[in-house]
Each structure stands twice: as structure tokens, then as C-alpha cells.
């Protein structure tokens, strides 16, 4: 049977989706994907992401400044984010993609932290959850989230850490984004963690066109493959597929202010 899915993290404003939106959304819908959240990575993408949310009923927007592109973000970008949120465009459901990244060369973590905290303040002001990127920064991010005490929490997307690290976020009220990492047998630590975490803390995502699934390396990821992530999640968990599908749908609707969110 086909279950109902929400892809909580898809960069639908990039190729191969640009110019092919209708066909791509049809492919996703055929796999049961009813809604897609598109997080911006910088101020230059805000208009494109907002236009997608305006033009396509299945698409929702998140606006944020991605830590991997920290050198592109400045006070003007923060002001653009504030202005965009203040105008309250329709279907903006989160601040993000934001977070921390210590994987890249010359990460400039002090600037990353400053930008992240500024985005926390905006999320708090506009009562929105946050979509969080974290690479080699789980402990630092958890500390900053504890300090920020956001009213709407958020999701640590594309999680690839340990059970203990995930539980630290969950205990703060955050959700864990389950994506393509769990499709790789070699990702034993993360697969084991996802198998043990509370089901009520999990949401599904693809990070398309990034984070290809096992067997699809070298190809652009796509939102319909959230159904394949779900299949692997069901293999790792003890609950039946119907229970898992219902739970991740409810979790997503509890976190994000999606329109027509009835189960």
C-alpha cells in the first residue's frame, strides 16, 4: 500500500527540479508525498523558495542562512531574513536551514554561532520552529539550543550521530530528521540509534537533491525517495508500518504549522 508522507527537507529550488516542478511534484505524489518543506540556504534564495510555496499547493517554505555558506551571510542577509519574516508571507513554516558545520575548511565557528543565535531570536519572535544543520557540532548545538529555550523547538535534520547525541536533542524537545543515511548498512551507529529512539521524535526527509540513498550514489536525490527511507525505517523499527507512517505524519504536523494538517 501507499502511505502518506511529508518530506520535511527538500531543496526544491535547485536543479534538477527547477523548470521541472510539475513533473517532479507528480512523481512525488505518486509515491505518497503530499507535502514538501523547502528550506532556503541564503538570502539569495528567499524569493525563489517563497514563489514555490505560493505557486504549488504541496510546497511549504522555510527561510534561513545555512552555515556551510557562512562567508556569504552578513548583517544585510540577516536584515533580509527579518524583513521576509516580518512581511509574513504565506506558508512559511520554519526558520532554516540554519545550524553549525565544523566539517568544512575554515568554518569560522564564532560567526556561525552569532548567525545561529540571531536566527534563534527571529524564530522566537515569529513563533516558528527551526530546521537545523549539524555536522561535527552536535554537542555545541545542543548547548546553544538549551540556552536559547525556543518555544517552538525544531528538527535536527539529516541526523547521523549516536543514540546519546540524539537523545540530548529529544530531551530538549527537538525532533530527529531521518534521511538517506539509514539506507547505508555501513552507517551502523546511526541505524542503531534510529531503531531505538522514541517514535514520537522522528520525521522523514530526503535533503534532495543531496544525500543520495544507498544504490543511488552519483544521482540527484528526489523527494519521492522519502518512501524508500520509510521502507528502511520500517526494517529498523519494531512497530508495524502503519503505526510508523501515522506517527511520523503526526510528528511533522505537530512541529510545523502546515495547512490542512489533519491526519
Q: Say whether 9 counts as a known binding-site residue.
A: yes
Q: Say whether 11 counts as a known binding-site residue.
A: yes
Write the DSSP assignment of the chain as a string of letters. -PPPEEES-B-TTSTTTTT-HHHHHHHHHHTTEEEEEEE-SSGGGHHHHHHHHHH-TTEEEEE---GGGGGG--HHHHHHHHHHHHT--TTEEEEEEEEEE-SSSS--HHHHHHHHHHHHHHHHHTT--EEEEEES-HHHHHHHHHHH--SS-EEETT--S-HHHHHHHHHTT-EEEE-GGGG-TT-HHHHHHHHHS-GGGEEE---BTSSPPTT-TTS---GGGHHHHHHHHHHH-SS-HHHHHHHHHHHHHHHS--SS---
Q: Say whether 138 counts as a known binding-site residue.
A: no
Q: Say whether 66 counts as a known binding-site residue.
A: no
- Residue whose grid cell is 556551510: 68
Q: Say whether 133 counts as a known binding-site residue.
A: yes
Q: How many CA atoms lie within 13 A of 253 on its CB side?
A: 15
Closest CA to 208 of 20, 4, 1, 2: 20
Annotated binding site for a divalent metal cation: 9, 11, 97, 133, 157, 207
Annotated binding site: 9, 11, 97, 133, 157, 207
Amino acid at each position: 500500500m501507499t502511505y502518506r508522507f511529508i518530506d520535511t527537507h527538500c531543496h526544491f529550488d535547485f536543479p534538477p527540479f527547477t523548470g521541472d516542478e510539475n513533473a517532479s511534484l507528480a512523481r512525488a505524489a505518486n509515491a505518497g508525498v503530499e507535502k514538501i518543506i523547502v528550506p532556503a540556504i541564503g538570502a539569495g534564495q528567499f524569493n525563489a523558495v517563497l514563489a514555490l510555496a505560493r505557486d504549488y499547493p504541496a510546497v511549504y517554505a522555510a527561510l534561513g542562512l545555512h552555515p556551510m555558506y557562512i562567508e556569504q551571510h552578513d548583517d544585510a542577509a540577516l536584515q533580509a531574513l527579518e524583513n521576509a519574516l516580518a512581511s509574513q508571507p504565506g506558508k512559511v513554516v520554519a526558520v532554516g536551514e540554519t545550524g553549525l558545520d565544523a566539517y568544512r575548511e575554515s568554518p569560522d565557528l564564532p560567526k556561525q554561532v552569532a548567525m545561529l543565535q540571531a536566527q534563534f531570536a527571529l524564530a522566537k519572535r515569529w513563533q516558528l520552529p527551526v530546521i537545523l544543520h549539524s555536522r561535527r557540532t552536535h554537542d555545541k548545538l545542543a548547548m546553544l539550543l538549551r540556552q536559547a529555550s525556543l518555544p517552538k523547538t525544531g528538527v535536527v535534520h539529516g541526523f547521523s550521530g549516536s543514540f546519546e547525541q540524539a537523545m540530548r536533542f529529544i530531551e530538549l524537545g527537538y525532533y530527529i530528521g531521518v534521511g538517506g543515511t539509514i539506507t547505508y548498512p555501513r552507517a551502523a551507529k546511526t541505524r542503531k540509534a534510529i531503531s531505538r529512539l522514541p517514535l514520537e521524535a522522528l520525521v522523514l526527509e530526503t535533503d534532495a537533491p543531496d544525500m543520495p540513498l544507498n544504490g543511488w550514489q552519483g544521482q540527484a536525490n528526489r523527494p519521492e525517495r522519502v518512501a524508500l527511507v520509510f521502507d528502511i525505517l520500517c526494517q529498523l523499527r519494531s512497530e508495524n508500518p502503519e503505526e510508523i507512517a501515522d506517527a511520523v505524519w503526526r510528528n511533522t504536523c505537530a512541529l510545523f504549522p502546515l495547512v490542512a494538517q489533519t491526519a
